[in-house]
Chains A and B, each alone.
Chain A
Amino acid sequence: MSGSLRLELALLDNIIWLMLAAFFALCALTIPNFASWNNLVNILYHTTIMSMLVLAQGFVLMSGHLDLSIDAILAFAPGVAILAAVKWFPGVLGNPWIAIALTLAIGALLGLFNGVCIASLGMNAFMQTLSVSIILRGLILFLIPLSIFPLDPVYSFIGKSRITVLGNLPAAIPVTFFIYFFFHILLKYTVFGRNYLATGGNPRASFVAGINTRRMIILGFVTAGVLSAVAGMLTAGRQDSVSNTMGSGMTLLAFAGALLGGTSMSGGKGSAFGMLGGAILLGMFSNALNLLGVKVTLIHAAQGTLIFLAILVDRFRAALRSSILRKDQLRRLHHHSVHEQAEKVISS
């Protein structure tokens, strides 16, 4: 494979970062104050919650499934944990560290439930996670009719606090970057990550190759549950309260972020790095619309357009990739036949 071909393919695989750079340049030139440090930090800060959900959704997509319950888990996990800490068992579970552990555990357990239903009992992922999502939303509406506030500062730390040594950077930003870095390593450099991607790419072949595919799928959903719970803690921390509306409507946008980031809807393909780009583009997009003074009601429609764009980019990328490879093959064939002819000439 020639160097230029490899470069072309690498650019295509990271097309999201190209789009992000182009969009950033466009906004920086046309919108005043867009490129200021404060606004950039603001964009990243507002992206953190969505980026957790994008990662959760993208991770499940890689195993060849999908999860519609992530935004419900986002509300349910911190909601129940705080309820337990404040109302049900304030004595035992009042410690904020325990509340954090409980939040993550609830997320993991809900993910485990999804995973077992889907991988072991063979339920359809769409139907199963849709039902869980409706159940959780209903329960949280029943359990927390009114917001509970304020929260313990330890609990709200990752969502709310700013780190002075880093120029007042919100703690949520480094936390998000760290988690993305972790997943990048996990997917690229660990046996688990490769087996996980293999499971999504061809479950039957992976099973025959000796991978415990059922466990892979279950762990995918567990991971999504934990990441959604982290997103829930970021949300709760930012508003310093838990409420029943947290995260509503974010699941479908998370699909858009994952898709923009190069994750395949049919499994087996995707990277943490790409998904981060997808999530940031989503955040930058709504920030730009805000600064331009677009009405909040119209922002939804604009985001819908972005989802459409994500699908279009995905198709475009697949088509472009095969055309690049075909051209390369033609070039090599041509090269080859020229060589042969030269040899013939020499031998005659």
Chain B
Amino acid sequence: MTGPALLLEGITKIYPGTVALENVHFEALPGEVHGLIGKNGAGKTTLVGILAGLIEPTEGRITIGGKVFSSLSRARAKKEGVAIVPQEPEIILDLSVAENLFLGDLGSAGAIVDWRKLRKNAESILSMYGLDIGVDLQARDLSLSERQLLLILKACVVEDARVIILDESSAPLSGKDVQILRRIVEGLKASGKAIVYISHNIDELLGICDRLTVLRDGRVIAERERLGLDHQSLSELVIGEGFSRSSARSGSLPPAGREEFLRVEGLSRWGVFEDISFSLHRGEILGIAGLRGSGRTEILKALAGIEPADEGTLFLRGQPIRPRTPGSALSRGIAYLPEERDAEGLLRFFSIRDNLVLNSIDKFSKWGFLSWEKCSRLASEIFREVQLKAFSIHQDVDELSGGNRQKVVIGRIMANSPDVYLLDEPTRGVDIGAKQAILSIICGRIRSRSGVIITSPGLDDLVDVCDRILVLRNGLVVREYARYQFDEKKIFLDMQGFGIRNRRGGTECQAV
């Protein structure tokens, strides 16, 4: 073996207003599993994007198998033998398992598809890794976990790449399938491939990797051999210690004995979350912390009536309610800020003003007729309040940056002055300046009149603004923290599921 299969040197990526990666060094040797971990916003996604050829680095060199590049294109990366299993599964639902597995290289027998051979090859690959799926099933019939495994097999086994990047590939996998993934990775290692293994799950990384690189704020904080690490030391590296940050929160906690806005009792949705109970007061910010897939988004969507819960009761100012649609939730004063800003939050063809008044349009009409003048007045007011950086309320939202678009969506639900705000990752994908602005709006005007439930990609935001934090793991609330108890590290470990005494009395502590 001569040198690393993949080598990144001095990689820097600058976005307007923010440095996503700074002088990053990363290498993966043949026959090695190299883990990559970091909090949200640490730069993992950018790094993966650069490897995949989706993002062009501002500076730096990429060496793959001895060839040097300053940036990669998607096709180039593939040609040089870099395979990626992306976070969002890309699978063709209407094709069979066998076709999905060999997609892009179906015609091993010339222009005509040799179905028998295709099926036989697919069967042999699936059985080799103990995957019990019929090759003639449609991808649509598979569970999420099986779909993901299929993609992993495609990237790892079928494409025969030199470097394989698994980007949080284990998140949707079920327990049994994680074992299969482990077997696949062992097999790859034995055949001398380099594997870059990205995950949030410390336990899993420690179990599978040979070496680990920790990213924090766009820099490589540490590169260590697996043997010198344990849970404690690795979590400390990931979170960092003794750093200070200006808080978006000003002033003290609101006075006790406030009005209760929302009470949730025994909320459950089968297989997603279970027996969730909490209450929310006026002026309170309640954070929900949890890994992806822990059920945090789903709880908010249930409260907002988008995907109603199967069981449980909601009390709004003491009155039991049952929102079945977003419309009914909204009319009772529960507003939801969607996690996926562009898909669920914005109307591209509409101007800033028209987006801002979308929820509250009924207020500006008489007998169904609109007063554009009143709409514009409110829109201008909110425009100032959320500090939108745009030239006019008549500009189309397409032309705004991500942070400003997010402010439009927040402004839109503010226009309705709801009692309860459900903010699903309000700071996702926005630059640092917009993030501070958004957090201070939440702590300022929004909090002063309403109750807020918030989730965030990074714990630091929650620790920064919340009065209480509920920690969610696998659809269960495993712990609750009051503000004076906040400890980023403890919360992080709870999210990971270390040493938690769950409500059935057992411990979920995993052995290494």
Let me know if A201 and B369 touch, CB within 8 A: no
Binds A, one of B101-109, B263-271, B358-366: B358-366
| A100 CA / B128 CA spacing, docked (Å) | 72
Let me know if B347 and A206 touch, CB within 8 A: yes
| A1 CA / B393 CA spacing, docked (Å) | 9
Let me know if B361 and A195 touch, CB within 8 A: yes
Write the chain B residue with the least CB distance to A264.
B349
Chain A CB within 10 Å — which of B346, B349, B391 has the most?
B349
Answer yes or no: A142 CB below 8 A from chain B CBs: no
Answer yes or no: A194 CB below 8 A from chain B CBs: yes
Let me know if B327 and A191 touch, CB within 8 A: no
Which residues in B have their C-beta under 8 angstroms from that of A194?
354, 358, 361, 370
Binds B, one of A17-25, A127-135, A160-168, A209-217: A209-217
Contact with B395, one of A1, A191, A202 (Cβ below 8 angstroms): A1
Answer yes or no: B293 CB below 8 A from chain A CBs: no
Decide: A1 near B365, CB < 8 A? Known: A207-B326, A209-B326, A209-B412.
Answer: no
The digit string for B332-353, where 1 denotes a CB below 8 A from any CB of A, is 0000101000011111111000
| A206 CA / B362 CA spacing, docked (Å) | 14
Answer yes or no: A189 CB below 8 A from chain B CBs: yes
Let me know if B370 and A190 touch, CB within 8 A: yes
For chain A, residues 177 to 213, give those with C-beta under 8 angstroms from any C-beta of chain B: 189-192, 194-195, 197-198, 201-202, 204-212
Answer yes or no: A269 CB below 8 A from chain B CBs: yes
| A13 CA / B291 CA spacing, docked (Å) | 46
| A201 CA / B397 CA spacing, docked (Å) | 12
Which residues in A have their C-beta under 8 angstroms from that of B304?
208
The digit string for A239-274, where 1 denotes a CB below 8 A from any CB of B, is 000000000000000000000000010001100000
Let me know if A191 and B368 touch, CB within 8 A: yes
Expressed in whole angstroms, the minimum distance between the Cβ of B440 and any Cβ of chain A is 25
Decide: A198 near B392, CB < 8 A? Known: A190-B365, A191-B365, A210-B359.
Answer: no
Which residues in B have their C-beta under 8 angstroms from that of A191?
361-362, 365, 368-370
Let me know if B368 and A208 touch, CB within 8 A: no
| A332 CA / B399 CA spacing, docked (Å) | 14
Which residues in A have their C-beta under 8 angstroms from that of B346?
202, 205
Answer yes or no: A325 CB below 8 A from chain B CBs: yes
Interface residues of A: mostly helix, strand, loop or mixed?
Answer: helix
Chain B CB within 10 Å — which of A190, A197, A206, A209 has the most?
A209
Let me know if A210 and B370 touch, CB within 8 A: no
Contact with A268, one of B347, B369, B372, B391 (Cβ below 8 angstroms): B347
Answer yes or no: B18 CB below 8 A from chain A CBs: no
Expressed in whole angstroms, the minimum distance between the Cβ of A314 and any Cβ of chain B is 14
Let me know if A190 and B369 touch, CB within 8 A: yes
Contact with B369, one of A189, A198, A202, A211 (Cβ below 8 angstroms): A189
Which residues in B have their C-beta under 8 angstroms from that of A192?
368
Which residues in B have their C-beta under 8 angstroms from that of A205?
338, 343-347
| A205 CA / B344 CA spacing, docked (Å) | 4
Let me know if B358 and A198 touch, CB within 8 A: yes
Which residues in B have their C-beta under 8 angstroms from that of A204?
343-344
| A189 CA / B374 CA spacing, docked (Å) | 12
Which residues in B have their C-beta under 8 angstroms from that of A332?
391
Let me know if B350 and A201 touch, CB within 8 A: yes
Expressed in whole angstroms, the minimum distance between the Cβ of A119 and any Cβ of chain B is 14
For chain A, residues 207 to 233, give those with C-beta under 8 angstroms from any C-beta of chain B: 207-212
| A210 CA / B363 CA spacing, docked (Å) | 14
Expressed in whole angstroms, the minimum distance between the Cβ of A81 and any Cβ of chain B is 30
| A202 CA / B355 CA spacing, docked (Å) | 11
| A192 CA / B369 CA spacing, docked (Å) | 9
Let me know if B399 and A211 touch, CB within 8 A: no
Chain A CB within 10 Å — which of B326, B338, B345, B365 has the most?
B326
Answer yes or no: B73 CB below 8 A from chain A CBs: no
The digit string for B353-393, where 1 denotes a CB below 8 A from any CB of A, is 01000110110010011101000000000000000000110
Chain B CB within 10 Å — which of A189, A190, A194, A205 has the most?
A205
| A278 CA / B399 CA spacing, docked (Å) | 28
Which residues in A have their C-beta under 8 angstroms from that of B326?
207-210
Write the chain A residue with the least CB distance to B326.
A210
Contact with B344, one of A189, A201, A208, A211 (Cβ below 8 angstroms): A208
Which A positions have Cβ atoms within 8 angstroms of B? 1, 189-192, 194-195, 197-198, 201-202, 204-212, 264, 268-269, 325, 329, 332
Closest 4 CB pairs of A and B: A210-B330, A210-B327, A201-B347, A268-B349
Listed A/B pairs (30) with beta-carbon separation below 8 Å: A1-B394, A189-B370, A190-B368, A190-B370, A191-B368, A191-B369, A194-B370, A195-B361, A197-B349, A197-B350, A198-B350, A201-B349, A202-B343, A205-B344, A205-B346, A207-B306, A207-B326, A208-B306, A208-B336, A208-B345, A210-B326, A210-B329, A210-B359, A211-B327, A212-B325, A212-B327, A264-B349, A268-B349, A268-B350, A325-B399
